[in-house]
Structure 1
Amino acid sequence: MSNWDYLPDYPLNSDLVKRLKCALDAKDEERMRDLICTEVTPVDAVIELANDDWMKDPSAQLPPGMLLGLWTLEYKRELTTPLCIAAAHGHAACVRHLLGRGADPDASPGGRGALHEACLGGHTACARLLLQHRADPDLLSAEGLAPLHLCRSAASLGCAQALLEHGASVQRAGGTGLDTPLHVAAQHGLDEHVRLYLGRGAPVNARNSRRETALSAACGAARRPEEQGRCLRLCALLLRGGAAADTRDEDERSALHKACGHASHNLVQLLLRHGADAGALDYGGASPLARALQTAACASQAAPQRTVQALLNHGSPTVWPDAFPKVLKTCASVPAVIEVLFNSYPQLCVSESWKEVIPEEVFQMYKPFYQSLFALARTPRCLQHLCRCTLRRLFGKRCFDLVPLLPLPKPLQNYLLLEPEGVLH
């Protein structure tokens, strides 16, 4: 049922709604509890908290942003119930009081039920009370989302546990994106939720509408540097749980493409160790190496040279030689990336014209490296480098595994694995 089919018991302009909105705006929890527990009747009354249907008031002065919305023909109306308000704000005593008076735990005039609201806010005590009063653990919102799909924060772990204890389906795909609860947890970096869902039999390789698995969704979600450790643990959990490391989404992008786009070298190494293809091409013809190079300058604090190094040590094709000046222009401010990539070629013809693509201030900042690069315009690479390239060609995709087995000193092993030194020889 659409929320336009409901007649609110307390419309937007009613005295009670005005007082309730004042209490909510002031975060006056005691006053809010008094209003919804003692003044609202019946117990499942429909309350209208917002309505932007400007057509009801032709004289209304509309902001420009609202006028842009005319073309969408979408007008929002926020309807709710006392129980939904109490659950959304985590007032367990109020939820208990309303349920004791016979409130319907599944009423959802606004499109979401009280259980959805409790899960969205991470209010475990409220969720448990609702479930004990026979709230449907798989109730779908107007958007087609079950309560488990709204467990999107670390605080909602208890809600997720309660839902599963009461029979919620961990396999249900919901919303327009057809995400499973595992997808949602992966997208939000919730490693404990992932552990919980996998323990309850969540299908680890289920696809959403974009053909993403949970692993792909986790690698594609933008992560701040401080969140990457949790993302790494989450992806390790998924891989141990049987996630395929090299599945592709609707654009043929793999989890490795996405990890490279975030310059998360530890995650890149994890995926490569589990069989991700370093040479995979997406529909646009981009390889994981291309993604790493495109974002290197924006992620210099994340040591993007480690991502490039890992890819090359797992058999990634290098960049076409004629495209190297474009890479130099893009990555000039991250010379370690240039060094690692340059050392993957047995011989690359250096041109003095390349200096034109390097900003002068960048050249001066990294002068020793760039002087060593342009010195090679007049000389062949050293014999040691040519031996390195020969061994790397023989080992191919297994460089990362085989080089450490060679009876060589650690510095020489590092040299074979393209460890940057700061200058070229």
Structure 2
Amino acid sequence: MVEIVDSFIAAVCVIICNLVRALWAIVDPDPTDLGTQGTLLQDFMEELSPRQLEVKHLKEKFLKALQENNAEEVIQILHTSKLDIDTVFEVDDPNMVLASYKQGYWLPEYKLEKSWAMGVHICVMYNALETALVLLQKGAAINRMPNGKTPLHVACEVSNSDFVALLLANGAKVNSRSLSGHTPLHYCTARESVECAKQLILKGAKVNAASHSNEEETPLHTAARFGVPELVALFLTHGASVNALNALKETPLMTAVFWAFDSKEQAYSQDHHLVCRLLLDHQADPNLREDDKKTALHKAAWNCDHILMRMLLEAGADARAMDINGCAAIQYVLKVTGVRPMAIPEVCYQLLLNYNTARIYPPQFHKVLQVCHDYPGVVEILVNSYEHLKPTKKWRAAIPDDCYERHKDFYDSLFAVCANTPRRLLHLTRCAIRASLQGFCQRGVDQLPLPSAMKKYLLLDPEGILY
């Protein structure tokens, strides 16, 4: 037995040595053998080159005809050559229109710049309708996806409703999945693709089909994320679930609220606001919670989006709801007050307090001054929500000297009012009325037969000074 094992090991060693020698000969060839190897290589190239060059030239000619929508040239090539009608080409695809990738896969840069595509894919990409019709009449495959998408996916991606109609009429699968797990309806992400979506739905596209991906989004989630009111209205009309949950338990409403703010441009999207209005009008629940217990109101507060906050609060959002870390919406606004230059934080705080949010814990009020010292209107609103607030030594330390000088009149009034006990009877009356109304403060005050100035006072409109 030992002899057999030794023989086997010796044989393996000989094979490995021969492989190493062969590899070394390729990397560092012997000059005496170079002439022989060169002759063999030259003979090999002379044998294959003509055929390879012919095929390469024919494919280039075919690709050019497809891109230029030259139907006559395509017919001639297919009639006079043996070129496969479903030949796969490598084409430039810098915008990733043709390709679909699974999440979590590392891809080299060149892979993102190039894509594999068949003739019908290329026709869709270059809007070559007549040429595509020729290919389909001659039996071109319509549901293959050499690089992750079928031609129907591509047609929806580029919002070409004419191609969608052509492909559906020739047997394209309306609910086919791309490599990333999305249906054609998921690729309808712009106003221009509304007509594509209509045709897909009429042919049986499932409006509630979740993507087979990490997100597990429905088409309604996707339309809400891109902020396309026309698509959202279309999906809702055809039975889309308004409270559908994705993998993170986010509803379309949460998705639209989050994406309503463009952090790069520091701008708010009116289209996303309209999407939220549509969803709420179709009974979207503003108090559903995602995995970390945030509601749509938390997301609106994080964006400091007072328009959506008002919309959600009027629809019944709970201003006291806390996330997994015990933070309510008012804490979210507090975190971002200084980094949302396009926001109006005063309105955000005012809304939350008028809808009965929990106030900041008084011993921690110096943290409000640390964050909001350059927003005296915010400080005034928060201070006026208490009957009385006792200052600490941390208050003055939290306000930079230059800021104190800029808003000297206000901060002098702040320390003067908070140092005296009690505050004026008018303020105490306001606090008593607000306490009796609790969560109905905003709606209750609006219905009271009072002058406009008195209503503003009860709803904490800032006046620029405390008294």
Q: Which of 277, 281, 288 is matched with 2:318 structurally?
A: 277
Q: Helix, strand or coil: the match of 2:253? A: helix
Per mean C-alpha deviation after superposition, the further-off stretch among 188-197 and 366-375 is: 366-375
Q: Helix, strand or coil: the match of 1:396? A: helix
What code does the residue aligned with 1:114 have?
P
Q: Name the structure 1 match of 2:465.
A: 423
5+ residue gaps, structure 1, are 1-9, 24-28, 52-70
Going from structure 1 to structure 2, the CA distance change for 1:353 and 1:20 (only over 3 Å counts) comes to farther
Per mean C-alpha deviation after superposition, the further-off stretch among 149-158 and 38-47 is: 38-47
Deviations 1:46-101 (A, max 9, x none): 123379xxxxxxxxxxxxxxxxxxx9765547322121122234343343333233
Per mean C-alpha deviation after superposition, the further-off stretch among 339-348 and 247-256 is: 339-348
Matches within 5 A, 1:68-83: 74=107, 76=111, 78-83=115-120
Q: Helix, strand or coil: the match of 1:78? A: strand
What code does the residue aligned with 1:219 have?
V
Distance 1:102 1:250 in 2: 49
**Preserved contact between residue 259 and residue 272 of structure 2 (Cα < 8 Å):** no
Per mean C-alpha deviation after superposition, the further-off stretch among 154-163 and 73-82 is: 73-82
Alignment of 1:107 onto 2:107 = no
Q: Name the structure 2 match of 1:223.
A: 261
Q: Name the structure 2 match of 1:211.
A: 249
Distance 2:324 2:428 in 1: 35
Alignment of 1:192 onto 2:192 = no
What code does the residue aligned with 2:433 have?
L
Distance 2:267 2:364 in 1: 34
Distance 1:316 1:417 in 2: 13
Distance 1:412 1:313 in 2: 15
CA shift, 1:388, in A, is: 0.9
Q: Helix, strand or coil: the match of 1:168? A: coil
What code does the residue aligned with 2:462 have?
P
Alignment of 1:405 onto 2:447 = yes
Q: Name the structure 2 match of 1:136.
A: 173
Q: Which of 279, 294, 301 is matched with 1:253 structurally?
A: 294
What code does the residue aligned with 1:189 have?
G
Alignment of 1:48 onto 2:48 = no
Going from structure 1 to structure 2, the CA distance change for 1:390 and 1:16 (only over 3 Å counts) comes to farther
Deviations 1:158-217 (A, max 9, x none): 111111111111010002211000110111111110100010001111111100111111
Distance 1:84 1:382 in 2: 75
Matches within 5 A, 1:2-401: 32-34=68-70, 38=74, 41-49=83-91, 74=107, 76=111, 78-174=115-211, 175-224=213-262, 227-351=268-392, 353-380=394-421, 381-401=423-443
Going from structure 1 to structure 2, the CA distance change for 1:401 and 1:171 (only over 3 Å counts) comes to same
Aligned-pair identity in percent equals 34
Going from structure 1 to structure 2, the CA distance change for 1:373 and 1:156 (only over 3 Å counts) comes to same
Length, aligned pairs only: 390
Q: Helix, strand or coil: the match of 1:276? A: coil
CA shift, 1:400, in A, is: 0.7
**Preserved contact between residue 336 and residue 422 of structure 1 (Cα < 8 Å):** yes
Deviations 1:341-364 (A, max 9, x none): 121111111245423322334333
CA shift, 1:17, in A, is: 7.8
